[in-house]
Amino acid sequence: MTDSKPYWETKSLEQMSTEEWEALCDGCGRCCLQKLQTEDEHLVRYTRVACRLLDVKTCQCTNYWRRKTLVPECITLTPEALSEINWLPESCAYVRVKEKRGLADWHPLVSGDKQSVHRAGISVSGKVMSETHIHPDDFPSLVIDFEDD
């Protein structure tokens, strides 16, 4: 019987294969929310407004491989980009692994169940609406706080 550790505990983010990197995403959908940033404080606030490509029930991108073409402002998350991004939640698997905090017990790679992120209340499923239904001027009134990081 071997007691081998999972790849996210033995590899750095830079060492992960594309498949490992993609599997690390917990599917919460928080990175797909519209965000507001104050100029004076540089504070980033999430809104209840999701990218038009996000399925707000499943928290999956409806056109993941073409997202940069369809939504040019979409951020491609890479190990290098993590150093520049200040708005990922503390619960994000990429942030947790980078900070050597391991994955949460609700993470699908730990639980073995893709729905565990939803049951744990971490995902945005049922909490947000598509930007196709909201005028950008209304974003400030739709700020959401996550208490579960």
DSSP states of 121-136 as a string? T-S-TTT-EEGGGS-G
| Domain annotation covers residue 86 | yes
Check pLDDT > 60 for residue 89: yes
Asked whether residue 11 is domain-assigned, the answer is: no
Q: Left if phi > 0, otherwise alpha if psi is -120 to 50, otherwise beta: which for 135?
A: beta
Strand 143-144 to 54-55 pairing: unpaired
Range of the domain at 107: 17-144
Mean pLDDT, the chain, as a whole number? 91
Q: Is residue 8 part of a domain?
A: no
Q: Enter the pTM of the model.
A: 0.88
Q: Residue 12 domain-assigned?
A: no
Q: List pLDDT tens digits, range 63-81.
A: 999 999 999 999 999 999 9
Q: How many domains does the chain have?
A: 1
Cα separation of 40 and 46, whole Å? 17
**Residue 4: inside a domain:** no
Q: Determine the average pLDDT of the residues in 100-123.
A: 96
